[in-house]
A = this chain, B = another copy of it.
Amino acid sequence: MSTRKLQVGVAGLGRMGKRHALNFHQNAPRATLVAVSSPDAEERKWATENLAPHGVAVYESYDDLVAHKGLEAVCVASATSVHAEQAIKAIEAGKHVLCEKPLGITVEISQTVVDAAAKRPDLKVMCGFSRRFDASYRDAYSKVRDGLIGRPAVLRSQTCDMFDPSGFFVAYAQFSGGIFVDCSIHDIDLALWFFGEEEARVKSVHAVGITAVEPDLRQHGDRDNAVGTVEFRDGRIAHLYASRMMAAGQEDVTEVIGTEGKLSVNILPAKNHVKIYQPGGIRQELPQNYWDRFQAAFTTEAIEFTECVLDDRPVPVKLATAVAAVKIGAALQESMIKGYKIWFDENGERTDKAQL
Contacts and interface: CB of A to CB of B under 8 A. Distances in A.
Given A237-B227, A268-B268, A282 B286 contact: yes
A251 B282 CA distance: 11
Copies of this chain, how many? Answer: 4
A207 B274 CA distance: 28
Interface string A183-220: 00000000000000000000010101111110000000
Most B CB contacts (10 A, CB to CB) among A136, A213, A275 go to: A275
A14 to B, nearest CB: 23
A277 B246 contact: yes
Nearest to A156: B241
Interface string A329-356: 0000000001111000000000000111
Contacts of A263: 274-277
A274 B264 contact: yes
Interface in A243-273: 243, 245-249, 251, 257-273
A213 B151 CA distance: 10
Contact of A212 (B139, B153, B241, B243): B153
A260 B239 contact: no
Interface residues of A, number: 80
B285 A283 contact: no
A71 to B, nearest CB: 20
Given A239-B241, A273-B265, A278 B247 contact: yes
Contact of A257 (B236, B243, B265, B268): B243
A25 B278 CA distance: 36
Contacts of A318: none
Interface string A141-152: 001000011010
A277 B265 contact: no
A235 interface: yes
A333 to B, nearest CB: 15
Nearest to A29: B26
Given A283-B283, A339-B355, 10 more contacts: A3-B53, A139-B272, A206-B206, A227-B229, A239-B241, A247-B279, A249-B281, A264-B277, A269-B282, A280-B285
11 contacts: A140-B274, A149-B277, A154-B241, A209-B237, A248-B262, A268-B282, A269-B282, A271-B281, A281-B286, A282-B284, A339-B356
Complex A-B, nearest 10 residue pairs according to Cβ-Cβ distance, in ascending order: A262-B277, A136-B273, A153-B212, A248-B277, A339-B354, A136-B272, A281-B285, A26-B29, A266-B273, A283-B283
